[in-house]
Each structure stands twice: as structure tokens, then as C-alpha cells.
Amino acid sequence: MIQSVNPVPAFDIKQQYSTLEAEVSAVVLEILASGRYIGGPVVEGFEKQFAAYHGVTECVACNSGTDALFLSLRALNIGPGDEVITTTFTFIATAEVISAVGAKPIFVDIDTTFNLDLQQVAAAITPKTKAIIPVHLFGQPVDMTALMAIAQSHNLAVIEDCAQSTGATWGDQKVGSIGHIGCFSFYPTKNLGGCGDGGAITTNDPEIASKLRVLRDHGSKVRYIHEEIGVNSRLDAIQAAILEIKLRYLDNWNGQRRAIAAYYHQFLSQVPGIIAPEELAGGVGVWNQYTIRISGEGRNGATAKYRDSVRQQLQERGVSSMVYYPLPLHLQPIYQNLGYQPGQLPVAEQICHEVISLPMFPELTQEQQDQVIYALKDCLG
Ligand SMILES: Cc1ncc(COP(=O)(O)O)c(C=O)c1O
């Protein structure tokens, strides 16, 4: 067994904190002393900054990316009897919220960019369809020009799931500012990560924004007067203050992620047995994950067993990795009632057997990147 002296983690959020420790500690102590812990001017200040960063008029902060999606569906009055089209290759939260509002998720296959196959999106539209949720997976933007054209021709709402793509652009627009609503997660390992849970919703529609503000606070505009069944999904002032600091560094960190992705690409894209991730020409991705596919030896691509054996060999060489995601959503136990069959969305089903997400975080050193590349080449002979 080859054991590396310095293991390379899949992600490392402690390093980012150590570089910002003085700035972050100062604002946290200030807020602790202020006694204003939930909502308030610090949260409003962050909302303004986040809206300005995205070139939109409205930002509503909330408790998580999941809540951002849930509240968005609620604000659009989507519920029982409605269908919402989304990708089968994403984190469960994207679809879970569709079910949580009582609507039906309609899962569509992906293409080799890991994102929605837009032809299949168009084919999945029915009279019951109310919205599409494109996910900019791993930080790579969906072709929003084509997606918006499909949505507009059927008068459908578009809720962008930007949980993994804060700062990515399509054309000259930030993701989250192109659809009707953008949903963001500040989970600590995201490109803009807080020190706990957090989320935000962006829009240019003031009516939607004011509905969201009511829904996130128990359906109440005036204290103790409740107009709707809402939820408690407010952002803490400490999180907002930390996120406001980190937002100033985001473009820089995303640039570092892009440089790492370019370096990986340079050395991995020609290696037999590896399919390197693609980037569409119209967008600039932000590489929340750098996810390769292991093509395997057979004509039908790799098996999960073979992929797992490659990961095991990487681990033995000190390189940690992740599998996002091992099972597409249409085949998840919770969605058996929807009646999807194995083989129905074949691209995602196969890709789930092949993906390995390599170490990716802005502070990853050149030496660590070389170690990952060397280990992979070594494993694949
Ligand atoms: C694609 C996607 N959507 C939604 C979410 C949900 O975000 P959160 O964890 O902040 O609820 C995540 C986060 O893991 C995600 O990756």
C-alpha cells in the first residue's frame, strides 16, 4: 500500500477561516455585544450587497438553500396538482421541496455537462407544468439562453438552483439573476460558505420578494398578525456579517478554483480512462466540484464497483475524494411511488457509476494538485 505522507483532503474549510480570523472574530464579537442576533440591519446590509453583486433589485436571506427553494415555490403558489421539471442528477433538496409543497417533480435526464438535457426539458412540459428548476451543478452554468427560451414559450417560471454556483456567469449575467428567482446555499463548503446554515433568494420582482419576506417570517408582515402559513427561516446576524466579509473575497476564491480546474484539466484530460468535465463556451463556471468520470474498460462505461476501487486506490495514495451522486433522484427509494424504472434516464444512471469529485478548494496547493494528478495516473496504470 502506498501511503502518502501528506494526505490531500477533498475539501478544507478551516484554512479559509484562518486567513480571515481577525476580521471574522471582530464582527462576531460586535454582534454578540449588540444583542441583535436575528434579522436586523446587519442582515439587511448583506442582502443589499448580495443583490448588488448579482445585479438584481431584491435579495431575501433565509435559513438554507433548501428553504430558499421551498419558499420560492410557495411564493409562486406552486402546490398540489402542479408539476415542476428538474434534473435527476442533483442533491435531494432540489426535488424534496417540490414534494414538500405538494407538487410533483418531473425528472429529466442530463447530458455530458452533468446539467439538464434541454431537449428533454422541452419534451417533459405538460399543461400541468408550472416551473423549471435548472441546477448549475458543480458550479457549471446551464445554457440559460436556451432554457429561458423554452420557459418563455410555455409561460413557465424558472427557479435557478445556484447552491453550488455562487459567482458563476452565463453570458454577461450572474447565475441567479437570469431566471425569475435564484436560490443560493451558504452551507460551509459552498463557494460562499457561512459558519453554519444559511441561504438567499434573488429576484428582480418586488412582489415575489415581499411575499418571500412574509413567508420566511411566519406569514407575518405586521408582528403577531399572520396572513399565510409561513415558516421560520430567518438568517442570523452573525452569519450575515461573516457572509458579507466573505463576499468580498468570493471572486478571488472562484478565480483560484478556476486555476485549479485548468491545471487538473491540462494533466487529466488526455489520460486514458478519465473523462474530464466539460465547460460550455457561453459560461464561466466556479468549480464547487471538479468531477471526473472514470470511463472503465467495457463498452458500456464503468461500473460503480470499478469506480469505487479507483477511489479506494486514491485513498491509499493519500487522496480523498467524494461521489456526488451515487443514485439519481428518480431511482431513490422515496420516489418509487412516481413509477420511474431503471434505464429510463440512462445518462444520469450511468454517470452515477462513474463520477469522482477530486479535492477542490481555493487553498489547494500546487503540490497537492500534483499529488492528486500523480495518484490518479498511477491508479489507472
Ligand atoms: C444543488 C443543491 N441544491 C440545494 C442544496 C440545499 O442547500 P442547503 O444545504 O443550504 O439547504 C444544496 C446543498 O447542499 C445543493 O447542493
Question: Which of 247, 270, 285 finishes a domain?
Answer: 247
3-class DSSP assignment, residue 40? coil
pLDDT at 146: 98
Residues 70 and 215 in one domain: yes
pLDDT at 112: 95
Instruction: State the virtual CA torsion across 17, 22, 24, 29 in degrees, nearest 10.
Output: 140
Determine the average pLDDT of the residues in 172-194: 98
> 69 CA to middle of ligand 1, Å?
9
Residues 243 and 265 in one domain: no
Question: Which of 247, 280, 312 finishes a domain?
Answer: 247
What are the b/e assignments for 236-253, b being 16+ CB within 10 Å? Answer: bbbbbbbbbebbebbeeb
Residue span of the structural domain in which 64 resides = 15-247
C-alpha cell at 167: 459567482
Strands (DSSP E) found in 83-224:
83-87, 104-108, 129-133, 157-161, 169-170, 173-174, 181-185, 199-203, 220-222
Percent above pLDDT 90 for the chain: 96
The CATH number given to whatever domain includes residue 64 is 3.40.640.10
Residues 181 and 168 in one domain: yes
DSSP one-letter string for 311-363: HHHHHHTTB--B-S-SS-GGGSGGGGGGT--TTSSHHHHHHHHHEEEEP--TT
In this structure, is residue 122 part of a structural domain?
yes
Can you tell me the distance from the alpha carbon of 285 to that of 268, in angstroms, rounded to the nearest whole number?
Answer: 18
Number of domains in the chain: 2
Residues 178 and 29 in one domain: yes
Question: Which of 232, 247, 262 finishes a domain?
Answer: 247
Of the pLDDT bands very low, low, confident and very high (cuts 50, 70, 90), residue 296 is confident
Percent above pLDDT 70 for the chain: 98
**What's the pLDDT tens digit per position in 78-120?**
999 999 999 999 999 999 999 999 999 999 999 999 999 999 9
**What's the pLDDT tens digit per position in 214-265?**
999 999 999 999 999 999 999 999 999 999 999 999 999 999 999 999 999 9
Residue whose Cα lies nearest atom 7 of ligand 1: it is 65
Q: Answer yes or no: pTM beyond 0.75.
A: yes
> 91 CA to middle of ligand 1, Å?
6
Residues 243 and 279 in one domain: no
Of the pLDDT bands very low, low, confident and very high (cuts 50, 70, 90), residue 5 is low
Q: Which residues line ligand 1 (CB under 6 A)?
A: 64-66, 90-91, 93-94, 135, 161, 163-164, 185, 187, 197, 199
Residues 218 and 342 in one domain: no
Residue 339: left if φ>0, alpha if ψ -120 to 50, beta else—which one?
left
**What's the pLDDT tens digit per position in 320-357?**
999 999 999 999 999 999 999 999 999 999 999 999 99
> 266 CA to middle of ligand 1, Å?
30
In this structure, is residue 10 part of a structural domain?
no
